[in-house]
């Protein structure tokens, strides 16, 4: 009997000291109104321009977390702070149940949520531990080579032929690692054009986002958007710019990866990113106490999903892979955050038929998911050595779609993320008859382009200036036959430039800052804010 009691006590001690994941939510933030009144202190010039263009409000969620609170949390016994989120005003911590519970005594802690949801109501601990892993998803006239089928299936070549190749669009890729992207021949153009703007490894807290020892999934995903090998391979947005963020830990599956993802999305928003590509999905973890159920895929339960929804609210077009659990009888539906208000991408084969591994819909609250599909079975990718190979997974359907959308959005940056998403849906093959496997079907980007370029009669003379912010070259898009007069003023009202009927302005001589571009087009006048970086 004594041995049994001792064993029970040791077991209780083990469970009480085990490292648990939890989110610690704070009561407030410092100087919120001052930061909102001076947004350049918390957001980049590009982010401010994007929010202004789409009339996205700046609010308290954009203000950073109180660093004094974070320091205080770090100083608590047994607590390790692993990540933070300004959108949720919280930190992600590791510690024992008792150590985490003790944080509630701090007067700036509003709420504590354990990743193991059983601990939030404290039922009897279930000691039946079975390790489960939900890892990565299964492994101008261009000569598209091996990428031809996945491009022409959606008529993306029509975008490229009209000179919409993603130029001026900024994409953040959230994935597992990006080895050799600085030296891979498939990314030569990306690097030589200085369109790889940087990145960060949130898992190891390092700026070495291209570490050659990291997992290669993100590099392969990137190739489907921007990879280029003459006569062999062309990505769907070959002239877009990129930030690369490592948020997935290849050696473990824990809720911390959800928080890394949200933290990276916040960074992307502050940098003015237009689109996020995420070929990641979560529902099962190494510790099954943290697992989500199919009923949790309701668009508002998983931490990562709630973060993705905020990114969409902030004006970012989030494209996420549906997942590869289509043949898993216990979890065939989409994974988080694909259940959110994001643009969820399923997979088809080279003939446009449903790929059996692709996770299905609808969401738990009966929304159509996936939104649309792209080729994910036998998708062409560029490998780490610069050779072309083929792989399977919604992981690759998603970036093929992300690049296509970036090229489409370039045609009319005035459109909001929600407008672009709806235009792509309406162009798809099953828009009037969606199903659980294909959603709205395969988009037709030739049709979508016509819709994006069509405007109301009163807006037919509207001018589009891109990229904005710009460094050297500013391009203007307009179709009017009337004379166009363009004038650039500084914020003091001084006229710096005047010209007529031009579609390119060399911004090199201008100092960094904000300028007003005034356009007179017949009887109409339009003024745009231009950011020179």
Confidence of residue 203 (pLDDT cuts 50, 70, 90): very high
Alpha-helix runs per DSSP H in 41-147: 45-53, 67-74, 97-102, 118-121
* Strands laid side by side in the 473-477 sheet: 464-466, 473-477, 504-506
Lowest mean pLDDT among 36-45, 138-147, 373-382: 138-147
Evaluate if residue 132 carries a pLDDT over 70. Answer: no
Question: What tokens appear for 261 in the block?
Answer: 């993802």
Confidence of residue 481 (pLDDT cuts 50, 70, 90): low
Per-residue pLDDT at 334? 98
Helix axes 394-410, 217-226, angle to 10 degrees: 40
Per-residue pLDDT at 10? 42
* From 62, 92, 146, 175, the catalytic residue: 175
Evaluate if residue 15 carries a pLDDT over 80. Answer: no
Confidence of residue 115 (pLDDT cuts 50, 70, 90): very high
- CB 44, CB 271: distance < 8 Å: yes
Does domain 459-532 fall under CATH 2.60.40.3080? My reply is yes
Q: For 449-473, how does the pLDDT look when each residue is reduced to its tens digit (9 = 90+)?
A: 999 987 433 454 567 777 777 888 8
217 classed as catalytic:
yes
Domain 148-453 fold = Rossmann fold (3.40.50)
| Rounded alpha-carbon distances, angstroms, from residue 492 to 489, 515, 516 | 8, 9, 10
Question: Which neighbouring-strand residues pair with 498?
Answer: 487
Question: Which neighbouring-strand residues pair with 130?
Answer: none
**Range list for CATH 3.30.70.920 in the chain:** 2-29+64-121
The continuous run of DSSP H or E covering 418 comes out as helix 417-427
* From 358, 391, 395, 407, the catalytic residue: 395
Evaluate if residue 124 carries a pLDDT over 60. Answer: no
Evaluate if residue 483 carries a pLDDT over 70. Answer: yes
Lowest mean pLDDT among 119-123, 207-211, 400-404, 451-455: 119-123
175 classed as catalytic:
yes
Q: For 263-276, how does the pLDDT look when each residue is reduced to its tens digit (9 = 90+)?
A: 999 999 999 999 99
**Range list for CATH 3.40.50.200 in the chain:** 148-453
Per-residue pLDDT at 226? 98
Confidence of residue 476 (pLDDT cuts 50, 70, 90): confident
Cα separation, 219 vs 422, in Å, equals 29
Sign of CA dihedral 236, 237, 238, 243: negative
**Range list for CATH 2.60.40.3080 in the chain:** 459-532
Evaluate if residue 323 carries a pLDDT over 50. Answer: yes
Per-residue pLDDT at 493? 74
Q: What is the mean pLDDT of the chain?
A: 89
Confidence of residue 28 (pLDDT cuts 50, 70, 90): very high
Q: For 158-186, how does the pLDDT look when each residue is reduced to its tens digit (9 = 90+)?
A: 999 999 999 999 999 999 999 999 999 99
CATH of region 2-29+64-121, choose from 3.30.70.920, 3.40.50.150, 3.40.50.12780, 2.130.10.10: 3.30.70.920
Evaluate if residue 63 carries a pLDDT over 90. Answer: yes
* From 21, 215, 217, 359, the catalytic residue: 217
Question: Which neighbouring-strand residues pair with 477?
Answer: 464
Evaluate if residue 2 carries a pLDDT over 90. Answer: no
- CB 421, CB 406: distance < 8 Å: no
For residue 178, give the DSSP letter: -
62 classed as catalytic:
no
- CB 24, CB 103: distance < 8 Å: yes
| Dihedral class, residue 35 (left if φ above 0, else alpha if ψ from -120 to 50, else beta) | alpha
pTM of the predicted model, to two decimals? 0.80
Per-residue pLDDT at 14? 44
Residue range 10-33: mean pLDDT, rounded: 77
């Amino acid at each position: 009997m004594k041995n049994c009691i001792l064993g029970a006590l040791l077991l209780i001690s083990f469970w009480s000291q085990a490292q648990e994941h939890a989110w610690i939510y704070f009561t407030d933030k410092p100087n919120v109104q001052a930061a909102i009144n001076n947004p350049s202190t918390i957001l980049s010039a590009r982010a401010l321009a994007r929010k202004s263009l789409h009339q996205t409000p700046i609010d308290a969620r954009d203000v950073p977390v109180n660093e004094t609170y974070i320091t205080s949390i770090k100083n608590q016994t047994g607590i390790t702070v692993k990540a933070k989120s300004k959108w949720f005003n919280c930190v992600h911590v590791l510690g024992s149940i008792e150590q985490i519970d003790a944080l509630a005594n701090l007067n700036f802690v509003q709420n504590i949520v354990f990743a193991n949801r059983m601990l939030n109501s404290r039922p009897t601990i279930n000691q039946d531990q079975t390790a489960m892993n939900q890892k990565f998803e299964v492994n101008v006239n261009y000569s598209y080579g091996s990428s031809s089928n996945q491009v022409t299936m959606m008529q993306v070549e029509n975008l490229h032929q009209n000179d919409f190749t993603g130029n001026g669009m900024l994409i953040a890729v959230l994935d597992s690692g990006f080895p050799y992207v600085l030296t891979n021949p498939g990314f030569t153009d990306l690097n030589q054009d200085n369109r790889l703007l940087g990145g960060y490894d949130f898992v190891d807290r390092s700026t070495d986002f291209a570490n050659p020892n990291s997992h290669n999934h993100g590099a392969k995903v990137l190739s489907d958007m921007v990879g280029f090998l003459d006569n062999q391979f062309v990505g769907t947005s070959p002239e877009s710019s990129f930030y690369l963020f490592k948020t997935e830990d290849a050696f473990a599956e824990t809720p911390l990866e959800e928080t890394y993802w949200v933290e990276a999305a916040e960074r992307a928003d502050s940098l003015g990113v237009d689109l996020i590509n995420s070929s990641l999905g979560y529902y099962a973890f190494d510790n099954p106490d943290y697992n989500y159920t199919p009923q949790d895929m309701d668009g508002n339960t998983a931490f990562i999903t709630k973060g993705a929804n905020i990114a969409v609210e902030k004006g970012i077009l989030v494209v996420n892979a549906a997942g590869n659990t289509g043949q898993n009888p216990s979890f065939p539906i989409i994974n988080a955050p694909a259940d959110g208000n994001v643009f969820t991408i399923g997979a088809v084969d080279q003939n446009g038929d449903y790929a059996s591994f692709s996770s299905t819909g609808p969401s738990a609250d009966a929304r159509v998911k996936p939104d649309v599909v792209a080729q994910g079975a036998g998708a062409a990718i560029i490998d780490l050595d610069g050779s072309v190979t083929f792989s399977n997974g919604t992981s690759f359907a998603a970036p093929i779609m992300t690049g296509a959308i970036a090229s489409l959005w370039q045609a009319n940056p005035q459109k909001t993320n929600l407008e672009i998403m709806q235009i792509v849906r309406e162009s798809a093959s099953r828009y009037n008859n969606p199903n659980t496997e294909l959603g709205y079907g395969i988009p037709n980007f030739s049709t979508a382009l016509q819709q994006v370029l069509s405007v109301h009669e009163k807006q037919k003379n509207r001018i589009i200036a891109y990229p904005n912010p710009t460094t050297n070259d500013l391009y203007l898009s307009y179709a009017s036959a009337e004379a166009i007069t363009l004038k650039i003023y500084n914020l003091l009202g001084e006229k710096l430039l005047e010209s007529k009927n031009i579609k390119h302005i060399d911004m090199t001589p201008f100092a960094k800052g904000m300028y007003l571009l005034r356009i007179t087009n017949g009887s109409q006048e339009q003024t745009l804010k231009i950011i020179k970086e």
